[in-house]
Amino acid sequence: MSASAEQYPVPAPRPRRTIDELLAAKGTLPFASVEELSANAGIPDPELDEFLVTYRAERHQNQA
């Protein structure tokens, strides 16, 4: 016997929420800066350090 659409109804789609709404629902605040992100990592991470060096260099270059 094959399953029919009546046996397995598709649930209604969830309403779309913005990033701010999702963060508020979780009680989470976004990072204010890349430095805050790196400070919250809590562990030394060579890839994170490399990313931050590249990020700062590109940001400095774009501001000049």
The tokens of 12 are what?
């209604």
Are 26 and 34 spatial neighbours (Cβ–Cβ below 8 Å)? no
pLDDT tens-digit map of 31-51: 788 777 767 666 677 887 888
> For 3-17, 18-32, 39-53, which range has the lowest pLDDT when averaged over its residues?
39-53
- What's the pTM value of the predicted model, to 2 decimals? 0.37
Q: How far apart are CA 56 and CA 37, in angstroms?
A: 13
> For 2-6, 11-15, 59-63, which range has the lowest pLDDT when averaged over its residues?
2-6
For the chain, the domains span 31-63
